[in-house]
Chains A and B, each alone.
Chain A
Amino acid sequence: MRPLTLTRLLLRCAILAAILFGVVLLALKLGAVQVSLYGLGKDLVSVLLRHTNALSSDYGMIVLDIRLPRILLGIVVGASLSVAGTSFQALLRNPLADPYVLGVSSGAALGAILALIVESHMSLSPEMAGLITPVGAFIGAALTISAVYLLGLRDGEIDSTTLLLGGIITVSFLNAIIMFLMTTLSGSNLRGMAFWLMGDLSTPQPRSLLYFLCLGFIIASGAIYTTASDLNLLLAGEKEAMHLGVDVPRVRIVVYLAASVLTGLAVSVSGAIGYIGLLVPHVMRLIFGSDHRMLLPASALGGAIAIVIADTLARTVTAPTDLPVGAMTAAAGAPLFLYLLRRRIA
């Protein structure tokens, strides 16, 4: 008997954080233009020591102004999608649940597009206009998960198969509406929109939005983490969890709302990136077991690692052209998913 202790939890998270740090360094280095990390490090140190006022070399601009913000954005998006996926899997008692499969990502995408259309008819300040997409995406995500949840109910209990079928139908329905809305867009917007729908991190985002994302991630994933012990019991079903003292309706509300916030935020900046929320929790569960006190932070860090790797590949494989990161996660994720399925883990 070796129950989880705070020390072990922190130690494991530190290892994952170290891996993430290594991956980030690699991602900073690799790209259409190769940079020397050593040279950059030397530059940074001299700036910090006030020997020089600014980074002298031009690659400083590439690394710090282009790659770093994109990597940070990827980290928040990957962590958000993984935490949302982990919580959906526990709450819906379905190992195949994730924001993408359940249609929550599509709902968020539709919400974001509608918000953009509404915004273009209103005269808002640029800051307000920047925030209206995440809010629209959150509303879209929350409405979709409520609808899919109701579709998946049978005799008051969630039925796995019905739920997944409900999700698939919701995805195709929402995508049809998105297609319809997209045809009203002009040509240049269309390519950007198509990339965004695939899941894309290449659009530069204002710094204020990045802060907003981080804040949203911390609040929402923190809220989910308070229910980590309850989620462990919910794996055995809502009734059984209730008999073990879990306030099921409260947990359900907290987790659905928070997971919708996470999905909405991620989708509003990066579109619908698939497989991260599905696969990362499974891989982490294989390594660390299914205790959510460990699994939730591990998934957050694992999702960040996975997306930074995927996005680096998306930037380098066809350099200097970018691929959408969603194409990368799908290309790598689908075979991995099949492998896990064959091993009867999924």
Chain B
Amino acid sequence: MSTAVRHPLPGDASRATSDVRLSVEQVSYAYAPNPSQAPLFTLEALSFQAKPGEVVAILGPNASGKSTLLQLIAGSLLPLSGRIFLNGFETHTLPVKTRAQRIALVQQESRLLFPSRAWEFVMQGRHPYHPGLRFESDEDIAIANNALAQVGASHLADRWMDKVSGGEKQRIILARALAQQPLLLLLDEPTLHLDIGAQVDLLESLRRLAAQNRYTVVVVTHELNLAGEYADQVVLLQRGKCLRVGTPASVLQREILEQVFQAPLSVEMTASGRPRVTLFSNK
């Protein structure tokens, strides 16, 4: 286990006492291939906060800045202005190992050059906890086994990563993220190549894991209904602008969705008070 000393930063006291874990404060970003040109893409200043155990969904059409926002939160991009705090620490200033102990990122696809077994892959999640060259301890093995069990993939442990189905692979990748024992779990379109059943399974697990392990989960997705059903908060983006932040019921409303997605649709409330979106053809 890491015993890294957490140095307090100015303004930490107020943040530490509140139960906010992730705080995105007036964060903006601009991408330009070279500094003298006008930026090709900008993300306008936006703010939101999330508590432990909360699931935040980032929604929006293609090229709205969803993945950029996720990279900013992950600390791998530097914001143009504003700050992102995780438990009071700015994410991009954390040393790379410390950051990997607190933030786990599940990317759209995980390519492997040479096949490895599922358990070897999950074991990679223990890397941030070891300095330099090391051999896995019994504790690492227990944590990796537990991570596989939590996503219901214990039976896959000895399978090769290139011989499992898309849904199984996604669960193993999630298990690796759990093995990092993060505070913040970020997922970039985790449901992309999954069938509907596997999508529901995955979001169901995320919800349960967030509640059990007190993770804060931020998930980028195109699936309005999955976000409506499983998220506590929704951030709606369009062309680099944050249109709305709030509960699914307050964000997923017909007028704004029709404007964002340029398609006629209807929104109804389910018995559990969750919005359900149905899209119609344009013609």
List of A residues within 8 angstroms of B145 by Cβ: 1
| Docked complex: A221-264 residues within 8 A CB-CB of B | 225-226, 228-230, 232-233, 235-237, 239-240, 242-247
> Would A245 and B97 be within 8 Å (CB), given that A95-B114, A236-B113, A285-B114 are in contact?
yes
A244 & B100 in contact (Cβ 8 Å cutoff): yes
B121 to chain A: closest residue by CB = A236
Q: How many residues of A contact B (CB 8 A)?
A: 33
Residue of B nearest to A235 (CB): B113
Interface flags for B102-124 (1: CB within 8 Å of A; 0: not) read: 01110100111111100110011
Measuring CB to CB, which residues of chain B are less than 8 angstroms from any residue of chain A?
74, 76, 96-97, 99-101, 103-105, 107, 110-116, 119-120, 123-125, 127-128, 130, 132-136, 140-141, 144-145, 157-158, 180
Instruction: Evaluate whether A239 and B127 lie within 8 angstroms (CB atoms) in the complex, with A1-B141, A3-B136, A229-B132 already known.
Output: no
Contact A226 B113 (CB under 8 A): no
Tell me the nearest residue of chain A to B118, going by C-beta: A1
A236 and B110 contact, Cβ closer than 8 Å, known pairs A226-B133, A229-B130, A245-B99: yes
Residue of B nearest to A249 (CB): B96
The CA-CA distance from A290 to B124 in the complex, in Å, is 13
Other contacts beyond A235-B112, A245-B96, A245-B97: 12, CB < 8 A: A3-B140, A4-B136, A6-B135, A89-B113, A236-B112, A240-B107, A240-B110, A244-B128, A245-B100, A245-B101, A247-B97, A289-B116
A-chain residues with CB within 8 Å of residue B124 when the two chains form the complex? 232-233, 236, 244
Residue numbers in A under 8 Å from B110 (CB-CB): 236, 240
Q: What's the Cα separation between A5 and B119 when bound, in Å?
A: 15
A290 CA / B115 CA spacing, docked (Å)? 8
Closest to B105 in A: A243
Which of the residues B111, B123, B128, B180 comes within 8 Å of A236, measured between beta carbons? B111
Nearest residue (CB) in B for A293 is B133
Which residues of A sit under 8 angstroms from B104, Cβ to Cβ? 243
Among B99, B116, B119, contact of A290 (Cβ-Cβ < 8 Å): B116
One of A228, A233, A237, A289 near B133 (C-beta < 8 A): A228
18 sample A-B contacts, Cβ–Cβ < 8 Å, listed by A number: A1-B119, A1-B141, A1-B145, A1-B158, A3-B119, A3-B123, A95-B114, A229-B127, A229-B130, A236-B110, A239-B76, A244-B100, A244-B125, A244-B180, A245-B97, A245-B101, A247-B97, A290-B115
Q: Could you tell me the distance in whole angstroms from the C-beta of B171 to the nearest C-beta in chain A?
A: 16
Taking a contact as CB atoms closer than 8 A, the residue among A1, A228, A242, A290 that contacts B114 in the complex is A290
Report chain B residues within 8 Å CB of A93.
Answer: 113
Report A-chain residues with C-beta under 8 Å of the C-beta of B133: 225-226, 228-229, 293
Whole-angstrom distance from the CB of B108 to the nearest CB of chain A?
A: 11
Residues of B contacting A43 in the complex (Cβ-Cβ under 8 angstroms): none
A322 at the interface (CB under 8 A from B): no
Query: Which are the 8 A-B pairs with shortest beta-carbon distances?
Result: A245-B100, A245-B128, A290-B114, A3-B136, A245-B97, A1-B119, A235-B113, A243-B105
Contact assessment for A226 and B158 in the assembled complex, using a CB-CB cutoff below 8 Å: no
Question: Which residues of B sit under 8 angstroms from A5, Cβ to Cβ?
Answer: 135
Say how far B4's CB is from chain A's closest CB, in angstroms. 12
Determine whether the beta carbon of A4 is less than 8 Å from that of B135.
yes
**Does chain B have a CB within 8 A of A119?**
no
**Contacting residues, chain A, for B115 (C-beta < 8 A):** 290
Instruction: Give bound CA distance, A233 to B103, whole Å.
Output: 17
Give a binary string over A277-299; 1 marks a CB under 8 Å from any B CB, 0 the rest.
00000000100011101000000
Query: Which residues of the other chain, B, contact A4 by a CB distance below 8 angstroms?
Result: 135-136
Q: Is the CB–CB distance between B135 and A246 below 8 Å?
A: no
Contacts of A245 in B (CB 8 A): 96-97, 99-101, 127-128
User: With A1-B141, A3-B135, A237-B111 in contact, is A243–B74 under 8 Å at CB?
Assistant: yes
Contacts of A1 in B (CB 8 A): 119, 141, 144-145, 157-158
For A9, give the chain B residue with the smallest CB separation: B135
- Separation of A239 and B112 alpha carbons in the complex (Å): 13
A156 to B201, CA, bound (A): 35
A228 / chain B contacts, CB cutoff of 8 Å = 133
Residues of B within 8 Å of A237, CB to CB, are 111
Most A CB atoms within 10 A — which of B99, B107, B135? B135
Contacts of B158 in A (CB 8 A): 1
Q: From residue B23, how far is it (CB to closest CB) to chain A in Å?
A: 21
